[in-house]
Amino acid sequence: MQGLHLLLQLICLFSFHLPSNSFNINETDKFALLSFKSLMSNGSFEALSSWNGSLHYCQWQGVRCGNRHPNRVTALSLGSFNLSGHISPSLGNLTFLKSLNLSDNQLTGNIPAELCHLSRLQNLNLSLNNLVGNIPSTIGNCSNLKFLSLRNNNLQGTIPPQIGFLKLLQILSLRTNNFTESIPSSLGNLTLLSTLDLTENKLDGFIPPSLGQLKALKYLYLIQNYLSGKIPHTIYNLSAMVDLRLSRNQLDGNLPSNFCDAFKSLQRLQLNENQLNGQIPISISNCSALTVMQLTSNNFRGTIPDNIGFLQNLYCLHLGLNQIKATGNDWRFLDSLANCTFLQRLDLGENQLQGMLPRSITNLSTSLIYLALHRNPILGNIPAEIGKLTNLQYLLLGLTFIDGIIPKEIGNLKNLGLLYLEGNMLSGEIPSTLGNLTQMNSLYLENNAFTGSIPEELNNMQVLTTLNLSNNKLIGLIPKELFNLYSLSISLDLSNNYLNGSLPPEIGHLNNVAKIDLSNNKLSGQIPSTIDKCQLLQVLHLEGNQLNGPIPFSLSNMKGLQDLDLSNNSLSGPIPEFVGKMKFQHLNISFNNFEGELPKEGVFKNSSAVDIRGNSKLCGGVPEMHLPKCVLDSQKEKHYSKIIIVLTCCIGGIICLCITMFLISHFCWKTGSQNNPLPFVAKNYEYQKVSYHDILKATDHFSSENLIGRGTFGAVYKAPMNFENVTTVAVKVLNLNQHGASRSFFSECEVLRKVRHRNLIKVLSSCSTTDHHGNEFKALIFEFMPNGSLETWLHPDMCKVRPFRSLSLIQMLNIAIDVATALDYLHNHGPTPIVHSDLKPSNVLLDEDMTAHVGDFGLARFLVQPDSMSSLSTGSTAGLRGSIGYIPPEYGMGGQASVEGDSYSYGILVLEMFTGVSPTDERFRDGLSLHMHVEMAFSDRVTEIIDQKLFAVNDGEYNANVTENVHDCLVSVIRCGLLCSKLSPKERIGIGLVVKELNWARVKLLS
């Protein structure tokens, strides 16, 4: 009995203590999770809202517990939860943890060494954060680790050799950090490793030969480091290798003759931008699975193996920028490449290939989109059969010794976007069939011997951004049709030819181009005044012609012009004062017939930036110009003295008259004016007067059926009214009971009378009177935009009137460029810098061609006081100006209206356009914003946040294939949006740079 009693006591004792121990273990895991939450910032609490006492912690979001141990945490998966804060060391107490995923957040601080206590851990993913410091040297304690990714952080120091203790590791990614010194040889102990990615660090030294022990290695990425020396021969024994990328290092030596004997599975080989030399081994043909081979920018010599055609899966072969040779039979590799039916990209440019260009070049795969043979001493003609390569998008044959004519069959290459034939010996006429290449955006035919006239069919290239026909023997007039290439945004260069005739006024149509060079021709007549329409022009070269007359006054409107060369012409008259006030970096007016006093302001203060030689009638200027003084004889001095006295009296009388008129007009203004169209309207513009009765009748007594929108200060109606060629207008009726509405009306009138631009809404008239009840009435009449506002396209659920189809990527990009161009004009190229102050989708209107027009200038502000009459022209801002979500942060703290503020609004607008997410979306709370949402995905995951409707191909179907060009375009666009919407105004980029970047992005997209 005594033994039985003792046994019962032990059982009771065990039963008493067991719950207590279980409770303590459970509490340990719970407290570890709560400690983790406590170190997260306030903005992270919503993501962890389920982490509270109402649920068992095993049911918290992102937490998973085990089956055998149901109260022990085995996995914590919080990737892409927008978390910010530090990683709690208490996670080291989750001793049953097998998987920890905190990737794609905004975590900061160090990696806690306590995580290395997790001996059961198999998966550790801390990538895409802002972690700093070193990898803990105790990482080797996680002996069960199979997956380790710390990529895209700010980690530094050396890669700890203790990683070599992780014998079960299969994937190791440390790319895009700041690791230094050499790759530890201990990594060779990871015999199960299949992926090793150390790309974009600061690693130096040699590649350790021990990596040749990684028999399971399939993917080796060591791109963009400072690695040097030879590639270890042991690497070539890794028979499982699928993808080998060692680009952008300082590796040297040659490839062994048995290079591909073991690489039977190799699909991608990237060794470009190193210092490798020797020959391309013949054994390369044994890599039968190879699809991409990039050896560009090395020192490879010898010839291309003629058995390279055995690589029948090859679609990309880049061997440019080497010292590869070919003469005679050495060109047989081209015949061999005809077997590569998937070949899309072939780059052999900038080598030492010579001899006659084989006609077998035309036997290459019809899938070919990129062909580069430029900068080689090649002879012969361009074969007419080149027209068979119908998918070709890039053809680079420049800077060779090719002669003959351009075959007319080149017009069959309907997809061609870049044709580079510069610096050859081509002759004959430029074929008119080039006009068939409607996808062309860059055409380089300079430095040849072309004759005849410029074919007017080039006007068909409506996406052309660069046209260079310089240094040829072209004759005749410049076709007027050439100036209808509105897409020209980079350069038009027709210099050093024999073109004659006058410059047509249509030159003003090139309102997007940055450079025009028509120098050294036989052009005559005057410089057309329409040149000022080229508002984005930075470089204008007209030297070496026979131009005459004065410098046109309209040139003063070209605020962005930096380089002007008018030398060696027959221009005459005085040099206008405005020339000195323009922001030239270089001005050459030498060897003309200018006369009179040289201005002393602006660029004329810098003798090194101005060339005035050969103008013998010039005088004065700063002493450094070494011109004679402008001396008047006594008669002239007396004559001018009399004039001065008379002018003084006249000016005094005018001043008195102006004061009187101002007082009268001020009194009349106070008493109210009736039917005064557009207050303060300049006399240059005559507006058709509109009465209240006209508007009442046209809108059918302001019927709701004609209502097309409401804003802060009023409503907009569609109305049939006749204005020149316009039969339908939009009438904006001000709600004068709304505070600030009158001021908004006068502000909009003041702005719209001073600006004219194709991407700004056009005002047709206005009405300021009283209605039939004697109440004050104000309205503005605009051109009607049949495709409504951008907001209804971005968020079609807001518009119930009609269904909207999705905008395509190119349409969205065109709209972004239109809006940027309008802002650039307001900020930098208009008569007075203007800040819009309320840029948002509802204020971007689309015409029938989907061209965007910026409207609603009710909150606009002039940065400089234009005249004493206008109280509207001020840089200050009263209160919070703009719309929620688009208002710059500094405005909320009392900051002044500025062009940087407009840049912020534009940046948010661009991010909204390309993500389809509104900045006021309910997900953006607790400090999170659209900018932050996009920034977290930039640039590796940029396609994941892009609105998929932009890739629509059919109703409900999307094109999931994002090409490299589309990706690069999107990266450029999103980068602009992010740089414009930086929190600090000083960090935002100017809108002029945005216009250039987006135009480049459009070129990239269309190519």
Annotated active-site positions, please?
A: 838
Residue 33 near residue 57 (C-beta atoms within 8 A): yes
Give the C-alpha separation, 69 to 331, whole Å: 70
- Please list the residues that pair with 587 across neighbouring strands: 564, 610
Q: Treating both helix axes as pointing N-terminal to C-terminal, what angle do 991-1006 and 899-915 enclose, rounded to 10 degrees?
A: 30
Residue 793 neighbours by CB under 8 Å, 6+ apart: 787, 804, 807, 846
Helix (H), strand (E) at residue 540: strand 539-541
With DSSP H G I counted as helix, E B as strand and the rest as coil, what are the percentages for the chain, rounded to 5? 30, 20, 50
Distance of CA 667 to the CA centre of its chain: 52
Q: In what order do the strands lie in the sheet with 707-710?
A: 707-710, 714-723, 726-734, 776-783, 763-770
User: Of how many residues is the chain composed?
Assistant: 1007
Give the C-alpha separation, 568 to 543, whole Å: 6
Give the C-alpha separation, 308 to 814, whole Å: 43
Residue of 462, 448, 505 whose CA lies nearest to 480: 505
Residue of 619, 624, 615, 586 whose CA lies nearest to 603: 586
What backbone torsions phi and psi does residue 366 show, to the nearest 5 degrees? -70, -5
Tell me the C-alpha to C-alpha distance, in Å, between residue 318 and each of 154, 198, 220, 373, 731. 33, 24, 20, 11, 60
Give the C-alpha separation, 489 to 506, whole Å: 16
Label each residue of 78-119 as H, E or C: CCCCCCEEECCHHHHHCCCCCEEECCCCEEECCCCHHHHHCC
Q: CA 571, 574, 576: angle at the middle one, nearest 5?
A: 105
Rg (CA), the chain: 36
Helix (H, G, I), strand (E, B) or coil at 299: strand
Q: What's at 82, amino acid-wise?
A: N
CB atoms within 10 A of CB 684: 6
- Check residue 624 and report its DSSP letter: G
Give the C-alpha separation, 33 to 30, whole Å: 5
Give the C-alpha separation, 271 to 221, whole Å: 11
Residue of 801, 687, 655, 848 whose CA lies nearest to 752: 687
- Check residue 600 and report its DSSP letter: -
Residue of 148, 194, 203, 195 whose CA lies nearest to 176: 203
Residue 371 near residue 342 (C-beta atoms within 8 A): no
What backbone torsions phi and psi does residue 88 show, to the nearest 5 degrees? -75, 135
Helix (H), strand (E) at residue 627: none
Pairing of strands 63-65, 73-77: antiparallel
Residue 696 near residue 718 (C-beta atoms within 8 A): no
Helix (H, G, I), strand (E, B) or coil at 70: coil
Helix (H, G, I), strand (E, B) or coil at 158: coil
Give the count of alpha carbons within 13 A of 926, CB side only.
Answer: 14
Residue 476 neighbours by CB under 8 Å, 6+ apart: 452, 453, 454, 499, 500, 501
Give the C-alpha separation, 675 to 795, whole Å: 39
Distance of CA 988 to the CA centre of its chain: 14
- Check residue 601 and report its DSSP letter: S
